Chains A and B, each alone.
Chain A
Amino acid sequence: MHRIEAGAGDSDYDTHPFGTDVMWQTNASVLRHRGHEEQTWTETFPPTRENALENNWVDMWLQNENRPIKDLYCSMQRKIEIRRKQERKMKKKTGLESWKEEKGRSWRKFRRKMSVVLQHLILWKGSLQTIGGQFGTGIQSYFTFLRFLVLLNFVTFLLVAGFIVIPSIAFNELGLNQTVSHSPNNSKCFEYNPNPQGLERFYVFIMNILMGTGFMEWTYMFYGYYKKTSVNFSNFSYNVPLAYLVTTLAYFLLSLLWTVIRSVQGFKQSLITDDSSVNNYTDKVLAAWDFCIKDEKIITLKQRSIRYELKVDLEEEKIKRLHAQRTICQRAGIYSVRILLNLIVIALLCGAFYCIYRSTQESQLLLALESVKGNFILELLAGYLPSIVITAANFILPLLFNITIKWEQYILSVEIRLTLVRCVFLRLASLGMLLYSLWNNITCGDTENKTPCDNCGYNYVENKCWETRVGQEMYKLLIFDFLTVLVMILLVDFPRKMIVDHCSCKLVQLWGQQEFVVPQFVLDIIYGQTVCWIGTFFCPLLPLLNTVKYFIIFYMKRLTLFSNCRPADRTFRASNANFFFLLVLLLGLAISWVPVLYSIFVMTPSKPCGPFRDQAFIWDTISMAVESLPKVARNFFEFIASQAFAIPLFFFSCIVMFYLMALGSSYGKLVKTLKDQLQMERSRKILLNQAYQ
Chain B
Amino acid sequence: MGNKQTIFTDEQLDAYQDCTFFTRKEILRLHGRFYELAPNIVPMDYTDDPDVKLPMQLIINMPELMENPFKERIVQSFSEDGEGNLSFNDFVDMFSVMSEMAPRELKAIYAFKIYDFNTDNFICKSDLEKTLNKLTREELEEEEVTLVCEKVIEEADMDGDGKLAFADFENMISKAPDFLSTFHIRI
Q: Which residues of A contact B (CB under 8 A)?
A: 1, 18-20, 22-23, 43-45, 47, 68-71, 73, 75-77, 79-80, 83-84, 112, 116, 129, 132-133, 136-137, 269-270, 272-273, 276, 278-283, 285-296, 299-300, 303-304, 306-307, 310-311, 314, 573-576, 678, 681-683, 685-686, 689
Contact = CB atoms under 8 A, between A and B. Distances in A.
Interface in B87-108: 89-90, 92-93, 96, 98, 102-103, 105-106
Interface in B63-116: 63-64, 66-70, 80, 89-90, 92-93, 96, 98, 102-103, 105-106, 109, 111-112, 115
Contacts of B112: 45
A45 B182 contact: no
17 contacts: A23-B105, A45-B121, A69-B18, A69-B19, A75-B93, A132-B181, A270-B177, A279-B155, A282-B155, A283-B172, A283-B176, A286-B173, A287-B183, A291-B68, A292-B185, A294-B66, A689-B160
Given A73-B109, A76-B93, A281-B155, A273 B176 contact: yes
Contacts of B173: 286-287
A288 B135 CA distance: 10
B67 A75 contact: no
B71 to A, nearest CB: 10
A292 B182 contact: yes
A304 B148 CA distance: 16
B72 to A, nearest CB: 14
Contacts of A681: 158-159
B113 to A, nearest CB: 8
Given A22-B174, A70-B21, A137-B178, A76 B89 contact: yes
Contacts, number: 198
Interface stretch (B31-39, B40-48, B53-61, B139-147): B139-147
Given A69-B18, A287-B172, A303-B136, A279 B109 contact: no
A20 B170 contact: yes
B15 interface: yes
A528 B180 CA distance: 31
Given A83-B18, A293-B68, 18 more contacts: A18-B166, A20-B166, A22-B174, A23-B105, A44-B122, A45-B121, A71-B106, A76-B89, A79-B19, A283-B176, A287-B176, A291-B98, A291-B184, A292-B185, A294-B63, A303-B69, A311-B144, A576-B177
A144 to B, nearest CB: 11
B128 interface: yes
B182 A290 contact: yes
A68 B15 CA distance: 12
A1 to B, nearest CB: 8
B9 to A, nearest CB: 12
Nearest to B166: A45
B28 interface: no
Contact of B136 (A276, A310, A314): A310
A279 B172 contact: yes
Contact of A18 (B66, B109, B179): B109
Nearest 9 pairs of A and B residues by beta carbon = A76-B89, A45-B121, A575-B177, A686-B160, A287-B176, A307-B136, A79-B19, A76-B93, A269-B177
Contacts of B182: 136-137, 287-292
A535 B145 CA distance: 55
Which applies to chain A's interface (DSSP): helix, strand, loop or mixed? helix
B175 A272 contact: yes
B52 interface: no
Given A44-B121, A77-B89, A279-B156, A307 B140 contact: yes
Interface in B126-140: 128, 131-132, 135-137, 139-140
B23 interface: yes
Interface residues of B, number: 73
B169 A286 contact: yes
B144 A296 contact: no
Contact of A285 (B17, B92, B131, B161): B131
A388 B70 CA distance: 50
A134 to B, nearest CB: 11
Contacts of B135: 285, 289, 303, 306
Given A279-B156, A281-B152, A682-B158, A575 B111 contact: no
A244 B109 CA distance: 56
A63 to B, nearest CB: 16
Contacts of B89: 75-77, 80
Contacts of A112: 17, 23
Contacts of B149: 285
B158 A678 contact: yes
A683 B69 CA distance: 36
A314 B148 contact: yes
A71 B99 CA distance: 12
A129 B96 CA distance: 17
B166 A137 contact: no
Contacts of B7: none
B186 interface: yes
A125 to B, nearest CB: 11
Contacts of A574: 178, 181
Contact of B67 (A43, A295, A682): A295
Contacts of A296: 67
A655 B89 CA distance: 58
A44 B66 CA distance: 32
A314 B160 CA distance: 23
A20 B80 CA distance: 24
Contact of B178 (A22, A44, A281, A288): A288
B175 A279 contact: yes
Contacts of B167: 1, 18-20, 43
A372 B21 CA distance: 67
Contact of A22 (B18, B137, B160, B170): B170
A689 B161 CA distance: 9
Contacts of B64: 294
A292 B63 CA distance: 11
A294 B67 contact: yes
Nearest to A289: B135
B139 A307 contact: yes
A84 B18 CA distance: 11
B101 to A, nearest CB: 9
